[in-house]
Amino acid sequence: MKLMTLNTHSWQEEKQLEKLDVVAQAIIEQGCDVVALQEVNQHQDSPAVDANILTNHTVLADNYGYLLQKKLMEYGYHYQLTWDFVHQSYDVYHEGLAFLTRLPIIEHEVIDLSDNYDVNYWKHRRAVRIKVTSQQGDFNLYNCHCGWWNDSENSFEDQFNRINATLSTELSFLLGDFNNPSHIRNEGYDYVLQRGLIDCYEIAEIKDAGTTVIKNIDGWEKIAKRFGLIWFLVINQWWSSSIR
């Protein structure tokens, strides 16, 4: 089983359609079974599309996840798409979280990570859980785009606690942009480790330097860092050996 997570920063960069094709090619080349995407945006004035998408909100024609699904289909690869609205972004965009999966979805849940949820407030966030089924059994996947550790209004600690409260004894993977770099000690990364989750990068038999961001992005200076992460919580040790 192969998993991918990516913050697409969609429609906020140059040559975005060319990059969309690069993402599609990477998914195909890596043989990804499930892809979790964050900052999957659509312009609020775009027309709606009639598509078979698991969603809590109307999907519009320039939805990045929808276009990526279509691109994959052009190459002959079929993925089910989910897209869930999180909040208004950059004034004119609906920002959301998306899954692309080749494994059948049997459950879908949106989890609010803030009290008194306001879709117009960019700090208010959601996570999305899907349960999929495979030859190895059923398991949960979470798509997460969390806030900063030291945010006094919507801290990472509180947001992660809300996610953690929904975890069951079933195998669960947490994918996403956690906005807590792995090299910073005694903050979000260590907090998740202390809750019993395992960083998939650390147990990988083959891995690169681990850098997921190398340039300036919103809120972070230009240093190599890793906060696009895949965690898992496993009870059954057979699973632990089979996903390495």
Q: What is the domain extent for residue 124?
A: 3-242
C-alpha distances (whole Å) from 203 to each of 56, 124, 240, 242, 243 are: 35, 32, 10, 12, 10
Tokens of 57: 């909100």
CATH number at residue 30: 3.60.10.10
**The residue count for the chain:** 244
Q: Which secondary structure element, helix H or strand E, spans residue 117, and what is its range?
A: none
Pairwise CA distance, residues 123 & 105, whole Å: 29
Cβ pair 174, 234 in contact under 8 A: no
Residues of the chain under the 70 pLDDT cut: 211-228, 234-244
pLDDT at 213: 57
Q: Is pTM, for the whole model, over 0.85?
A: yes
C-alpha distances (whole Å) from 201 to each of 104, 123, 209, 230 are: 25, 28, 10, 7
Pairwise CA distance, residues 22 & 143, whole Å: 21
pLDDT at 242: 39
Domains of the chain: total = 1
Pairwise CA distance, residues 175 & 229, whole Å: 6
Q: Ramachandran region of residue 176, left (φ > 0), alpha (ψ -120 to 50) or beta?
A: left
pLDDT at 206: 86
End-to-end CA separation in angstroms for the chain: 9
pLDDT at 204: 86
